[in-house]
Amino acid sequence: MDIDLTKPLDIRILQRILPHRYPFLLVDRVLEVEPGVRIKAIKNVTVNEPHFTGHFPGNPIMPGVLQLEMMAQVAGISLLLCPEYEGRLALLAGIDKARFRRPVVPGDVLVVEVEVTKMRGPMGWIKGTASVEGKVVCEAEIVFALATQDREAAE
């Protein structure tokens, strides 16, 4: 993939890397990335997102599971930018030590930072943190399986 990693990655580039689309693409921009090592990205949380209709009427709060999904998507971008994993799918294989520290609401800019801690064959382990205005809102350890496009497990 011919991508300039010295500049932020916008939505057009992210759609070349990830298969996700609206309403499930949860990353707006990548600010910094060292493929397969670390990455920092943002999501602008807006009230017109479909989950806010029912979570919760009159008191919109971003579901924790979507915060974890954003973290997973950000980690996937980092891994899929590595030449050896280009064209694969980063499939969620596990979540450990997930903690939610405070609510995320419309108007927040969610900043996710992910560090790849280990790769073993088609499996990857990451530690991720999501924050708003410098305060941690969510953290977790996530496990990935890198699969071929036909969705079979990669060797």
Active site residues: 55
Report the distance separating Cα 96 and Cα 24, nearest Å. 22
Both ends of the chain: CA-CA distance in Å? Answer: 22
Which residues lie below 8 Å from residue 140, measured CB to CB, with a gap of 6+? 68, 71, 95, 96, 97, 98, 99, 127, 128
Which residues lie below 8 Å from residue 16, measured CB to CB, with a gap of 6+? 1, 3
DSSP for residue 5? T
Instruction: Say if residues 145 and 122 touch (Cβ distance below 8 Å).
Output: yes
Instruction: Say if residues 110 and 63 touch (Cβ distance below 8 Å).
Output: no
